[in-house]
Amino acid sequence: MKKNKKTFPRQSWTFDEYTNSEIRRAAATGIYDIRGGGSKRRLPHFDDLLFLGASISRYPLEGYREKCSTNVTLGTRYAKKPLELEIPITIAGMSFGALSGSAKEALGRGASIAGTSTTTGDGGMTPEERGQSNHLVYQLLPSRYGMNPDDLRKADAIEVVIGQGAKPGGGGMLLGQKISDRVAEMRTLPKGVDQRSACRHPDWTGPDDLKIKILELREITKWKVPIYVKIAGSRPYYDTALAIKAGADVVVLDGMQGGTAATQEVFIENVGQPTLGCIRPAVDALQDLDMHRKVQLIISGGVRNGADVAKALALGADAVSIGSAAMIAIGDNDPKWEKDYNKLGTTAGAYDDWHEGNDPAGISTQDPKLMKRLDPIKAGKKLSNYLKVMTLEAQTLARACGKNSLHNLEPEDLCALTVEAAAMARVPLAGTTWIPGINDN
């Protein structure tokens, strides 16, 4: 009898290999997956935008020859001493505890060489970080782990953290295995205990309270340093407007690709808005309140190269902030540790269990043996190299658009490759004059 022909085995689009593995993992362990790394799904992003460049209708600047300024001043609204940065790329908040002391030092070193700022995180300010950072932003988080007024007064700016792009509306958890003696002491908790970071501040709730909180911080620091307010990309128009109303000098807006916060996979992939979709509403809020360029806007979440920087600035941001990219620059997910990544059941480039403290690169760990793998001086140099490359790339694109400052880039310099990106960035779809939602008729 003749055998029936079979079709090629067809995998389900809905139940794909990863989805099935997650179902099996959940069934085996009874606990949701926690990870860092930000959203890994395909999202509309800066890649979906292109610069038009100059030609007859626009006049370009000579690459490498003609000036294209990159400096930015943050905190001009109320602070006596705004931050004067040489480049519009800052280092995002990442905690000592989540990261090793050496990694924090490396971030400070790299940022200082490049002329920009770095930021503390949940867990307080370490002497290594303060010592190596010319411009250090001190975060005030809901947990207030390690918060003390002496460090507050040492800071060059204060960032009131309300949300993170990876988890708008969510708190955090630093697992007990990362709680070394030093981390435990700084956070006033027993060694080895999981440390929960609350999702709400303990002493204020709404925007009217935030205004008073900011007043208190200004009074403690004698109105010298800028006060940032960091929000996640959930309702960027209203949240930006409320942060401005509360008296922020700078608004930091973190889209859902923001990756250094560890939380549930389901949270990372299903809450918040892509960075690209957040910028224009935030700029709308600034413009509606006549505060654009008076209150500065820092955009973060998936910024990787000079093109991303230039596009964010063209859409109205004053600066960007990088977290995941900075970690990669100092050695995170480096293929040279592939064997170690394999032992952890992953591979270089996909490692995202930063919260577990087993980082082969010695960055997101408190294990003394692993920490020795990171040389903070060399790692700092790598970060400064990377920041300089990003800046040069952004300048190259700006000059091609005829701009003598990165901050002169504008939406008119851009077009979009997809309808979604055109709608979010409010720039024309390539080859058309159509901006979905703006000139549909």
Residues lying near other proteins in the complex (CB under 8 A) are found at 29-31, 143-144, 147-150, 152-153, 173, 175-176, 187-190, 192-194, 196, 198, 202-204, 209, 212-213, 215-216, 219-223
How many residues does this entry show for the chain?
441
Whole-number minimum distance, CB 100 to other proteins, in Å? 22
Whole-number minimum distance, CB 281 to other proteins, in Å? 30
The residue to which tokens 């460090």 are assigned: 151
- Taking the least distance from each CB to other proteins, the nearer of 257 and 358 is 358
- Taking the least distance from each CB to other proteins, the nearer of 3 and 222 is 222
Whole-number minimum distance, CB 9 to other proteins, in Å? 34
Contacts of 205 (CB under 8 A, 6+ apart): none
Are the C-beta atoms of residues 136 and 115 closer than 8 Å to each other?
no
Whole-number minimum distance, CB 371 to other proteins, in Å? 23
Furthest C-alpha separation in the chain: 92
Contacts of 102 (CB under 8 A, 6+ apart): 128, 362, 371, 374, 375, 376, 379
Whole-number minimum distance, CB 143 to other proteins, in Å? 7
Whole-number minimum distance, CB 186 to other proteins, in Å? 11
Whole-number minimum distance, CB 157 to other proteins, in Å? 16
- Taking the least distance from each CB to other proteins, the nearer of 52 and 215 is 215
Of 368, 252, 278, 238, give the one whose Cα is nearest residue 43: 278
- Taking the least distance from each CB to other proteins, the nearer of 187 and 311 is 187
Whole-number minimum distance, CB 197 to other proteins, in Å? 10
- Taking the least distance from each CB to other proteins, the nearer of 175 and 417 is 175
- Taking the least distance from each CB to other proteins, the nearer of 151 and 284 is 151
Are the C-beta atoms of residues 297 and 317 closer than 8 Å to each other?
yes
- Taking the least distance from each CB to other proteins, the nearer of 107 and 246 is 246
- Taking the least distance from each CB to other proteins, the nearer of 30 and 431 is 30
Whole-number minimum distance, CB 394 to other proteins, in Å? 39
- Taking the least distance from each CB to other proteins, the nearer of 66 and 216 is 216
